[in-house]
Amino acid sequence: MRLFGPFIVLILIEIALFITLGGAIGLLPSLAVIFGTGILGVAVMRRQGRRAALDLRAALDGIRKPTAPPADVLVVFLAGLLLVSPGFLADALGLLLLIPPLRRALIAVVAKRMPVQTTAGFGVHQTGRPDVVIDGEFIEIEQTQAPQDRGPSGWTRP
């Protein structure tokens, strides 16, 4: 629900840009730009999807390491999605995400804000968040009788 307001604002900005730029360059060139970037977006997504699948298969087969980090593949795929969506603002953002230095800068900014969770051994270790201590009390209950064997459960009977 938090994204509904910004989504409506984005739609209104796209409509305003389409009216403004459509009035400046004309209807047919505006539609040509929208359809052209849509075709470019589909091509980018197909190429990235194929590249990601081949990298994953090669990594799983042990042939070689993946050539691109997953975050880079994800951002390029997001750029393709933005190019496919109609609108000049989305197209501009999609084209900006295709520029490698801007893409790396965006990944670095997002990575700094994102908590990292790793597993090592039997524990889970988190970084990027302050430790939370939960104080509580407990009572140890000792069992007075051994549990009686009731036989197989109803789930295991034939």
On whether residue 19 sits in a domain, the answer given is yes
On whether residue 14 sits in a domain, the answer given is yes
On whether residue 20 sits in a domain, the answer given is yes
On whether residue 73 sits in a domain, the answer given is yes
Domain count for the chain, please give it.
1
Confidence (pTM) = 0.63
Give the max Cα distance, the chain. Answer: 87
C-alpha closest to that of 72 among 86, 51, 93? 51
| Bridge partners (DSSP) listed for residue 124 | 119
Residue type, 94: G
What digits encode the pLDDT tens for the residues 13-55?
999 998 999 899 998 999 899 999 999 999 988 888 888 777 7
Euclidean distance between CA atoms 81 and 87, whole angstroms: 12
Q: What range defines the domain where residue 33 resides?
A: 4-113
What digits encode the pLDDT tens for the residues 99-138?
999 988 998 888 888 776 666 656 555 555 566 777 788 7
